[in-house]
Amino acid sequence: MGLFSDPAVGWTLGLALGFPVASVALVELERVLGDKSPDASKVCRLVQRTVLPPLGAFLLLDRVGRQSSDGAPMKVVLSVLSITAINAVLVAVNAAMRAPRDGERRGTGILLDLARLLVVLVASAVVASSIWGVDLGGLLTALGVGSVVLGLAMQDTVSGLFAGMSLLSGRHFKEGDWIESGGLEGRIVHMNWRTVTIETLDDEKLVVIPNSTLATEPFTVLTTNTRSFGSNLQIRFAYGTPPARAMSALERAIESVDIVMADPPYDIDIVAADEQGILFDICVHAPSRSDGEEAVTEVIRKLWYVCQREGLVMAGAANRLSTFNQPLRPIADELAQHLGGTDLFPGTAPGFDRLFAAARYEVYDDGEVLLLAGDPFDRLFLVTEGSLGVTMGSGNDLPPVQEVEMGGAFVARALLSGGPSPVSLVADGETSVIRLGAAAVLAFLNQNPGLARQLEQAIDLTELGLRSANRSLSF
């Protein structure tokens, strides 16, 4: 009983048991809060690593060792405990103020960090004065003189620092926004006290812009990743192109690009008619700015293929001859050789010249739909280069059930009856075809009954293949 009546023994046992328990409890609390609240987890880790050890040392010296408060060991431990405890409290307050509220931060991180640093410095000065007896007036004077000298030596750095504080506290932009400054345009990928780092869209370079530059020069906040982005492009057609046909070609090109949004809708306007041709201004919307340039690229790409099929010619000031030149195409003899070399349309058959006169040469881009399921099967495509995918639905992203290779053609009974197409035909890579109208094909077959029977056999094989593909897809 005499041993445990000594308070020092009780404190020793309490510290021996309480310190590990408190440390383990803080570690477990940090782990639990790690994913839910990173800031609160940081506070637990800070207390466990910086406050708990000096607190244990203070209790050990004061309660167990009964050290005098005037001794150097007690002063050192008390100073460390005071500063770390104040810092932990400020970190906790900082974390609470950083917590999201209605989608925004309640405080600006950099200002809170600077305020915490200032309070810790003042608290450290007060601790030095009260515990160590340091002349606080002389210390503040020395700090003031040192600050002036340091400020003059680092005025550019300090200028950038305060410029960063001004920008961040103003909340003009945030990471993920798009800005334009000094001829540079890009998405903000990182922000700190001194600089803003943007990633350009053209070649994805990282450009570092000093905050002092943004604070003194105008900049434009373009958009954010959460808003749709409108891209404008201008296309000029030659005067020989009827405006209605040009607008129809533009509409088909735009609607074939999946990344172009339907809402807001695209817009096409005629904005000029001068010696260079008729100028159209087009605005399309994409989900984000990074998708915007891809959308423009795809629209221009698809438009070229539409124009060459429709006989429309785009013009431009940089290429005046383009107003007169026709799209490149194989010579007639080469096309006749392609068509006449097939089993269904031999060049020696009666009526071949009339069939060839009705044929059209067309080029399709990868993924373009030549014939949509449900549309009238009023044309036949003979592949001269590339291949066609045959899909059972109306989407161009469906897996093909058949492939039509070079020299082949897809035929169905709807070609003879004028009914709807049972399949869609989609270009697999850039594909060149000879298009034959159903009327011209039927007129040719009427003059060649043997070829008509051969076509019927080809249709039977096609339908058998489609039924087999349907059974495979059902599994």
Mean pLDDT of the chain: 78
Q: What is the per-residue pLDDT for 249?
A: 92
pLDDT digits (tens, 9 = 90+) for 125-138: 777 777 776 666 66
Please determine, for residue 426, whether its predicted confidence score (pLDDT) is greater than 70: yes
User: Which of 50-64, 66-80, 380-394 is predicted least confidently?
Assistant: 66-80
User: Which of 165-169, 172-176, 354-358, 458-462 is predicted least confidently?
Assistant: 165-169
Q: What is the mean pLDDT of residues 232-256?
A: 88
How confident is residue 143, by pLDDT bands cut at 50, 70 and 90? low
How confident is residue 414, by pLDDT bands cut at 50, 70 and 90? confident
pLDDT digits (tens, 9 = 90+) for 78-95: 888 888 888 888 788 777
pTM above 0.75, yes or no: no
User: Which of 59-73, 165-179, 273-287 is predicted least confidently?
Assistant: 165-179
Query: How would you write the chain as a 3-class SS string?
Result: CCCCCCHHHHHHHHHHHHHHHHHHHHHHHHHHHHHHCHHHHHHHHHHHHHHHHHHHHHHHHHHHCCCCCCCHHHHHHHHHHHHHHHHHHHHHHHHHHHCEECCEECCCHHHHHHHHHHHHHHHHHHHHHHHHCCCHHHHHHHHHHHHHHHHHHCHHHHHHHHHHHHHHHHCCCCCCCEEEECCEEEEEEEECCCEEEEEECCCCCEEEEEHHHHHHCCCEEEECCCCCEEEEEEEEECCCCCHHHHHHHHHHHHHCCCCCCCCCCCEEEEEEEECCEEEEEEEEEECCHHHHHHHHHHHHHHHHHHHHHHCCCECECCEHHHHCCCCCCCCHHHHHHHHHCCCCCCCCCCCHHHHHHCCEEEEECCCCEEECCCCECCEEEEEEEEEEEEECCCCCCCCCCEEECCCCECCCCHHHHCCECCCEEEEEEEEEEEEEEHHHHHHHHHHCHHHHHHHHHHHHHHHHHHHHHHHHHHC
How confident is residue 325, by pLDDT bands cut at 50, 70 and 90? very low
